[in-house]
Amino acid sequence: MTTSVAQWGLFEASFTGPSEGNPFMEVTLEATFQQGERQVRVPGFYDGEGVYKIRFMPDQPGIWRFVTRSNASEPDGQGGEVSVTAPLPGRHGPVRVANTFHFAHADGTPYLPFGTTCYAWTHQPLAMQAQTLETLAKTRFNKVRMGVFPKDYPYNVNEPLHDVYQRGADGELDFDRPNPAAFRQFETQVMALGALGIEADVILFHPYDRWNYSGMSAEQDYRYVQYLVARLGAHANVWWALANEYDFMLDTKPMAQWDRFFQIIAENDPYRHLTSIHNGAPTANYDHRQPWVSHVCMQHWDVKRTPEWRAAYGKPVVNDEPEYEGNLTEAWGNITAEELVHRFWTMALRGAYAGHGETYRHPEDLIWWAKGGELHGEAWQRIGFLRDILEESVTNGFEPVDASVRFSSRISAATDGDTTIIYLGEHQPEIWPYGLPKVDGDYEVDLIDSWAMTVTPAEIVPAPENHPVRHGAVSIAKAPSAAFAVKLPRRPGLAIRVRSRVRG
């Protein structure tokens, strides 16, 4: 029998097998999928009640054939055929690193991450989970950071919808027996995000825990990582985030163990999903130069340091926690919407990406950053506006302007193809001549208001002749002659966009 599935879709085959003992530990299952001379090893998993599953995400159209291997007789030696058709409309395949510092889908479509954080949204009541998806559908977010394990932290102390592991006769969690119901619910929401065009940035571990999930043994941790990858790896919209604030768990999970987690993912994920790790302390960055790390994930409030991180690691930089819009007592959760929007623009125009979070107090602790639900702030609309601005003309990813342009240490500017954007941020000059074209050309020049979300034709005025560029109190250079200058209203958050009228 031949089953049909679209390219980058999900093929699933189920088999019966032993249910006695502990199949999670005692039964092995994998399959080899073959197309021509190419073979792909795919791990299987136990889904409870004597059911075993193999999931496969085909990356090429045509006929694929598979055969299973197991140490149990029933699921061993099973086979079948998969007919892979063209991708469904709007499906572009998993996200990969592209052009060193940026991302694109497998079919080459550029991907600019504009993510948000909802750590424990899949552990809330089903009605609230549905509300979260409804909210996301109204936004321009295309990535969500979300934890497999529930979270115990201020503003997030309710019991989860499911235990991630089964409970034994003594009522205690048995970390040798995953709870298939919990994983089914989690992967259902991963698929729901995929239907919205949103990547699921899946956080494997975190330290905020009263159930002792963070205290499992190393061997239990390793089996958990294998199980999770086997269940979720065939979903095209999955990213692997080893931890939220891994350095707060080094006492129980030393560095060698984190290295091993990366290796287990590489051994069991034939699709090479993006893989990262996230720090707590600003000085505790993992060595992102390691080959198993696809991109730099961090939290740091000083977003103007972005060029340092690009230079240090030579990989895409995603600052998922540049602090959160909100009014909590904690410093990380009380910056203004204006400041968060400013940090997004600053990072984007320095060649990297930022992440959103919202932390406004609520009488029932229904806070977006923790539980999802509804958004109450003002940054999310402006972040969507920034995404629209960048996606209008992106070809390879915005690259910072040459550091020899003297304003670059204070002003953020980048170029991609025939487009240059200069973000003035907190600076409010009356006129701006620097970094504008100095050669003859036919240009569109727009003034962008990052807060009002407007794009209007810029007011062009003659450029000053040999205007001095100053560093502190000392004049160190003369600006190259510009073809024109832009007259500006004096308010923060403005950007200038220069585009050639002859596109492409």
pLDDT band for 439, please (50, 70, 90 cuts).
Answer: low
Cβ contact 111:104 at 8 Å: yes
* Position 2 pLDDT exceeds 90: no
* Position 24 pLDDT exceeds 90: yes
For the record, the structure tokens of 326 come out as 């909100």
Query: How high is the pLDDT of residue 433?
Result: 84
Domain residue spans in the chain? Answer: 2-85, 114-391, 401-500
Mean pLDDT, all residues of the chain: 93
As separate numbers, helices (DSSP H) first and strands (DSSP E) second, the chain gives 9, 33
Cβ contact 233:10 at 8 Å: no
* Position 478 pLDDT exceeds 50: no
For residue 423, give the 3-state DSSP assignment. Answer: strand
* H or E stretch covering 313: helix 306-313
* Position 121 pLDDT exceeds 80: yes
Q: What are phi and psi of 31, to 5 degrees?
A: -140, 155
* Position 470 pLDDT exceeds 60: no
pLDDT band for 475, please (50, 70, 90 cuts).
Answer: very low
Residue 146's contacts (CB-CB under 8 Å, 6 or more residues apart) are: 118, 119, 120, 121, 122, 189, 200, 201, 202, 203
| Same CATH fold assignment for domains 114-391 and 401-500 | no
Tell me the C-alpha to C-alpha distance, in Å, between residue 206 and each of 35, 203, 237. Answer: 39, 8, 21
Q: What percent of the chain has pLDDT over 90?
A: 85
**Which residue, 155, 213, 151, 160, is CA-closest to 185?**
160
CATH topology for 2-85 is: Immunoglobulin-like (2.60.40)
Of 48-57, 257-266, 318-327, 484-493, the poorest mean pLDDT is in 484-493
Query: How high is the pLDDT of residue 302?
Result: 96
CATH topology for 401-500 is: Immunoglobulin-like (2.60.40)
d(CA 215, CA 494): 48
**β-strand partners of 260:** none
* Position 249 pLDDT exceeds 70: yes
DSSP letter, residue 348: H
Decide the pairing of beta strands 353-356 and 317-321: parallel
> The whole model's pTM is what?
0.94
pLDDT band for 417, please (50, 70, 90 cuts).
Answer: confident
Residue with tokens 């966009």: 497
Query: How high is the pLDDT of residue 403?
Result: 54
CA atoms within 13 A on the CB side of 433: 18
Query: How high is the pLDDT of residue 10?
Result: 98
d(CA 398, CA 425): 17
For 153, other C-beta atoms within 10 Å of its C-beta total 14
- CATH homologous superfamily, domain 114-391: Glycosidases (3.20.20.80)
Give the tens place of pLDDT for each residue, 454-467: 999 999 988 777 55
Query: How high is the pLDDT of residue 464?
Result: 76
**β-strand partners of 419:** 416, 499
**Which residue, 373, 369, 377, is CA-closest to 147?**
369
Query: How high is the pLDDT of residue 395?
Result: 83
Query: How high is the pLDDT of residue 463?
Result: 78
Section 414-443 average pLDDT: 84
Residue with tokens 């601005």: 389
**Which residue, 304, 308, 316, is CA-closest to 342?**
304
Give the tens place of pLDDT for each residue, 28-45: 999 999 999 999 999 999
pLDDT band for 476, please (50, 70, 90 cuts).
Answer: very low
d(CA 279, CA 273): 20
For the record, the structure tokens of 184 come out as 């089914």
Give the tens place of pLDDT for each residue, 386-414: 999 999 978 888 899 865 555 667 899 99
For the record, the structure tokens of 190 come out as 């991963």
For the record, the structure tokens of 161 come out as 């919808």
**Which residue, 159, 120, 154, is CA-closest to 328?**
154
CA atoms within 13 A on the CB side of 384: 10
pLDDT band for 122, please (50, 70, 90 cuts).
Answer: very high
